[in-house]
Amino acid sequence: MTSATFPQAPAGPGRWRALRWSVTDSLVLTWRSLARIVREPETLMDVTVQPVIFVLLFAFVFGGAIGLPGGGSYHEYLIGGMFGMGVAGSAPGSAVALVADMSEGIIDRFRSLPMSRAAVLIGRTTSDLLTQVIGALVVAVTGLAIGWQIHNGLGDALAGLGLALLFGYAFSWAGVCLGMVLRSVEAAQQLGFILFLPIMFISNAFVPTQGMPGWLQTIANWNPFSAIAAACRQLFGNPNPSALVQAWPMQHPELAVLGWSALLLVVFAPLAVHLYGRKSR
């Protein structure tokens, strides 16, 4: 489906022009999504209010009852897990926005313009990435407020942040696919929530996996959100009980995040373009 990206790209210099137009189209649509956020800031709640509430709930309500294998501060432990939620939290909202686009008629406008087909999706995921940066910053600031610190220097911390954003970007393509297959905004809202919460919770993001039943431990240890949490904890120098778990992703969390991100991108990006191309054909 790569041909769908450049509908009438001729050979030679024309191809470069087509590529340049695709980039322009993607930037215009990124700008569109961001302009919508500026006009309707409440749409940012899933990466701003939501992570703050989760941090406060877990730090002060549940945290006291959660013991960490190997010891350490639960507050410091928690923030590594929250980065996954902070960046991936935009995906359900992104699916909802796409379903709304598809049903509102503006997509017909886009389809009747001489623009790049993939730009609608690239613009969406690019603006998602920018909201994810906001989400990550919100988590970091909230974390600093409750006593979270980084112990391995700024370079490692930025590497952790980078991994989380990479995964968040890849994950938003899954959100795009969800938006392509659903027909109503309500369905997207509900399904997004129903899928998102278990995926988040069956991981080491909030509690160490050691206390889970064996079969669930396996799932949790291979959950990409566990890999992000473990990678962040390791890079931030925070307590990381998962280092004691013998599953491969917990022993190599950075590699696991890279692998999961690549896998999500390879599967969902072409699928999203394909689904978009098939829409209403």
Partner 1 sequence: MAEIPAIEAEGLIKKFGQAVALDGLDLRVPHGSILGVLGPNGAGKTTAVRVLATLLRPDAGYARVLGADVVAQAGEVRRRIGLTGQYAALDNSLTGRANLVMIGRLSRLTRAEAWRRTRELLDRFDLTDAAGRAVKTYSGGMRRRLDLAASLIGRPEVLFLDEPTTGLDPQSRAVMWDIIRELATGGTTLLLTTQYLDEADRLASQIAVIDGGRVIAAGSPDELKARAGEDRVSVTLTPGSDAGAAVTAVSAHATGPVAVGAGGLLLTAQVPARDGVTTDLVRSLDQAGIRATSIAVRRPSLDDVFLTLTGRGTGETAGAGQHRPAAGGAETGQQPAGWNEDEGVTPQGGEAA
Phi, psi torsion values for 70, nearest 5 degrees: 90, -5
Q: Which of 25, 21, 27, 26 is nearest to 8 (CA)?
A: 21
Nearer to partner 1, 87 or 185 (CB): 185
> Site size for partner 1, by CB under 8 A?
28
Q: Which of 151, 175, 166, 185 is nearest to 268 (CA)?
A: 175
Q: Give Cβ neighbours of residue 21 (< 8 Å, ≥ 6 apart).
A: 115, 116
Cα(133)–Cα(82) distance, integer angstroms: 13
Cα(54)–Cα(243) distance, integer angstroms: 24
Cα(265)–Cα(262) distance, integer angstroms: 5
- Convert residues 35-54 into a mask of x (bound to partner 1 by CB under 8 A) and - (unbound): xx--xx--------------
If one asks whether residue 113 binds partner 1 (CB under 8 A), the answer comes out as: yes
Residue selected from 106, 145, 194, 244 as contacting partner 1 according to rule CB under 8 A: 106
Binding positions for partner 1, 61-80, rule CB under 8 A = none
Residue selected from 111, 151, 183, 274 as contacting partner 1 according to rule CB under 8 A: 111
Nearer to partner 1, 108 or 186 (CB): 108
Give least dist CB 43 to partner 1, A: 9
Give least dist CB 26 to partner 1, A: 10
If one asks whether residue 105 binds partner 1 (CB under 8 A), the answer comes out as: yes
Binding positions for partner 1, 222-261, rule CB under 8 A = none
Residue selected from 108, 141, 144, 244 as contacting partner 1 according to rule CB under 8 A: 108
Distance set, CA 113 to CA 98, 116, 142, 144 (Å): 18, 9, 44, 47
If one asks whether residue 115 binds partner 1 (CB under 8 A), the answer comes out as: yes
Q: Are 147 and 75 in contact (CB under 8 A)?
A: yes
Distance set, CA 141 to CA 38, 48, 227 (Å): 21, 11, 22
Cα(179)–Cα(173) distance, integer angstroms: 10
CA 280 distance to own-chain centroid: 28
Nearer to partner 1, 103 or 218 (CB): 103
Query: Considering only 86-94, 108-116, 128-136, 194-202, which stretch makes contact with partner 1 by CB under 8 A?
Result: 108-116
Binding positions for partner 1, 19-38, rule CB under 8 A = 21, 24-25, 28-29, 31-32, 35-36
If one asks whether residue 114 binds partner 1 (CB under 8 A), the answer comes out as: yes
What does the binding site for partner 1 look like in residue numbers (CB under 8 A)?
A: 7-8, 21, 24-25, 28-29, 31-32, 35-36, 39-40, 104-115, 119, 280-281
